[in-house]
Amino acid sequence: MQANIDEVQRRIAAACARAGRAPDSVRLLPVSKTVNDERLAMAYTCGLRLLGENKVQEAHRKAEAMAGLGDLQWSIIGHLQTNKAKVVAKFASEFQGLDSLRVAEALDRRLHVEGRSLDVFVQVNTSAEHSKYGLPPDEVESFIRALPAYTALRVRGLMTLAVFSSDASRVRPCFQRLRALRDRLRQDARPGVALDELSMGMSGDYEIAIEEGATIVRVGQAIFGARPLPDSYYWPTDTES
C-alpha cells in the first residue's frame, strides 16, 4: 500500500511539473470504498488522514470502527440522497457531491442540530451522458448563488466525474469544462463562497485532470487495488461502462 501511495504521489508531482504547477497545489484524496477495516488501519499507518467513501452507511460504520484513531476524517463523495443527510451531518468533514437545494437544506438543518459545519463541493455533470447526477453546467451559477443561505455549509469548489473512458480526448474536455466554469464563476463569487477547489480525476485519469487544473484528485484503485464490484454498483445510473 505504501508503495502505491508513493507511486501516486510521484505521478502527481510529475503531472504538476508538466503543467508548471507546484507539487503541493494538488491534494490526494484516497478513496477507500470496499476497503476493509484491517486495511484502513494500514492506510492510517501509511499516513492517510482523510478518506473518501461514497456509501454513507459504509462510511459511518467505518468511522465508528476507526474512531479510536482520533484524527482520521471522512469525505463523502458522489450523489447523496436527502434521507442520508442526517448521518453525513454527524460525522463527515467534507461532502463532494452537492447537487440539489433539498440536500443543502437537509444537511444545513442537521448540521445546526449537531453544532457542526461541513466543507462542500458542488457536483457538476460535465459529460452529460455519463450519469444523471450533478448539475448541468448552466445551472451551477444560480445554484451557487442560493448556497450562502445555508450557513453551516462552507462552499469550497466544484467536483466532477469525467466520462468513463480510456480515451483521453473524451475525458479531457470534461475537466476543461469544469475549470472554465469555475474560472468564470469565481470572478463574482459571494463572500463566504470559495471556488478555489477543483475536485476531478480518479485512478484512470488523475494525471490528465492535474494538467487541466485539478486541486484535488480522488484516487481509489491505484492505492488500494482493484475493487471486486463494477463501478455501476456505486453509480447505479452509469449506463456507459
Residues forming contacts to ligand PLP in the complex (CB under 6 A) are 31, 33, 54, 77-78, 161, 202-203, 218-222, 234
Distance CA 105, CA 143 (A): 12
Give 6 or 114: the residue with its C-beta nearer to ligand PLP.
Answer: 6
Measured in degrees and rounded to the nearest 5, phi and psi for residue 30 equal -70, 135
Minimal distance, residue 151 CB to ligand PLP, in Å: 26
Minimal distance, residue 163 CB to ligand PLP, in Å: 14
Within 7-145, strands assigned E span 27-30, 50-53, 73-77, 94-98, 118-123
Give 28 or 111: the residue with its C-beta nearer to ligand PLP.
Answer: 28
Give 106 or 159: the residue with its C-beta nearer to ligand PLP.
Answer: 159
Distance CA 156, CA 198 (A): 9
Minimal distance, residue 97 CB to ligand PLP, in Å: 7
Amino acid at 114: E
Distance CA 151, CA 108 (A): 7
Give 150 or 234: the residue with its C-beta nearer to ligand PLP.
Answer: 234
Minimal distance, residue 105 CB to ligand PLP, in Å: 22
